[in-house]
A = this chain, B = another copy of it.
Amino acid sequence: MGYRFEAGRIYRMPTHFGAAHGPRQLPDDIAVDPKRGPRRLSVAASFLTDPAALERHLPDGFTLAEPVVTVEFHHMTDIDWLAGRGYTMIWVTWPATFVGRRDRATGKFLAVIWENLADPIITGRDEIGHPKLYAEIAEPRRCNGAQICAAGWMGFRFLELEVSQLRDAESDRRSAASDGTLMLKYTPRTGAWGEADLCQVTLTPAADPDNHIEQRQTGVGTVRFHKASWSDLPTMHHVVNALAALPVIEARGGAVTLSRGGKSYRDQRVLL
């Protein structure tokens, strides 16, 4: 007879054992307080680059708003949907505007994410359209007054980020007016190699009312992507090398932020 999908419940491959728990679907008997967790140590640095180089990495329908690349490490603990465990994610973004048939939005264009845990990679790619890849990510560490982050794959370190000369800052991020975070959800078509089953712009609206910043420091930020051969990074050398090829025209500062709480991205939506 086989099983039937239960209406209104999120499924992921494999679907054959029932709906799947995850960030957007927790067991009913688990008390969740979106103001308490996750705890998040964020380390970010930005740089000005060549707009023409950056535009080559924007999909159809997008225009560059400002040629400034930001790389952020988010070391998270106390994550409710992981039963209190944690993981780290790295975001690479730049400001852009999307104009579609129906929708228009300006915000951070989320070009790539690396994470050191497969579970959020799977849920994020499938449910949100997060462009997530796997990396080994060192726990952020503070040494000689600088906050130091690094990421690699199978022992090849491809990214180093450091924020030094840290000083306390206002805990309000100066955030430009933004509609949120923009990304491209893409699923290749099985058998018809080169075609897509899905290619759509998705948006995370800007509001995140349960996220509370506890401490914020700013400083001098440096980012370095290391060029890789295919043999070093056989599934993602093209990503790393494209980022390594962006000229660093000017450093645009760094920040270290401690925060708590946040949303589940259930408000994620497709733009047309």
Contacts and interface: CB of A to CB of B under 8 A. Distances in A.
Tally of this chain's copies = 4
Contact of A85 (B78, B132, B154, B188): B154
B142 A154 contact: no
Interface string A48-59: 000000011111
Given A83-B231, A144-B30, A231-B143, A131 B190 contact: no
A186 B144 contact: no
A155 B152 contact: yes
Contact residue range for chain A?
A: 35 or more
Contacts of A209: none
A16 interface: yes
A27 B30 CA distance: 46
A235 B119 contact: yes
Given A10-B193, A16-B184, A58-B2, A142 B78 contact: yes
Interface stretch (A122-130, A171-179, A250-258): A122-130
9 contacts: A14-B111, A21-B237, A30-B230, A31-B144, A122-B125, A136-B155, A190-B269, A193-B266, A198-B198
